[in-house]
Each structure stands twice: as structure tokens, then as C-alpha cells.
Amino acid sequence: MKRLFLSDTDRKIGGVCGGLGEFFDKDPTIFRILFVIISMLWGFGIIVYLIMWLIIPRKPKGASPEK
């Protein structure tokens, strides 16, 4: 079973977009662009990002990558 974690390897700020990219097997840049667009058009992208940063756990140190 796949689990969503913050990315330790592909992170710009908090690792949220990198973690989403790893979880969905997509390029994290897509998620970064979506957050920017949502922030510019409706203004709540930054709030969503911060909430996800607080809620999504970090990957445990001994955990193996699941694919």
C-alpha cells in the first residue's frame, strides 16, 4: 500500500509537491504549477500548501521506497 510522505529528495520549500509527485508517479513541477495557479487565481493555494505541509508526515528513516 502506497503512503503519502513529504519528499526528502525533491523539495523546494517543504517537500509537499515532491511527495505528491512521488505518490502519483508524476513530475512534481506539475503540482508546483498548480499551486501557483490556484494561489494567483483564487488566493488559497498557499493556505492549502501550508496545511498539507503540517498534515503530511515525513518518511520514517528506515523506510524503504515503495513502488
| Residuewise pLDDT in 10s, the chain (67 residues) | 889 999 988 888 889 999 999 999 999 999 999 999 999 998 888 888 899 999 999 988 766 655 5
Is residue 7 assigned to a domain?
Answer: no
Instruction: Let me know: does 38 contact 50? Beta carbons within 8 Å.
Output: no
Residue 45, pLDDT score = 84
Give the pLDDT of residue 23.
94
pLDDT at 65: 58
Q: Is residue 8 part of a domain?
A: no
Within 25-65, residue ranges assigned H as helices are: 28-41, 45-55
Q: Which residue pairs, CB below 8 angstroms and at least 24 apart, start in 58-67?
A: 58/5, 58/6, 58/8, 58/15, 59/5, 59/6, 59/8, 63/5, 66/1, 66/2, 66/3
Instruction: Give a yes or no: residue 43 inside a domain.
Output: yes
4 within some domain: no
pLDDT for position 18? 93
Domain that holds residue 44: 16-55
In a domain, 40, yes or no: yes
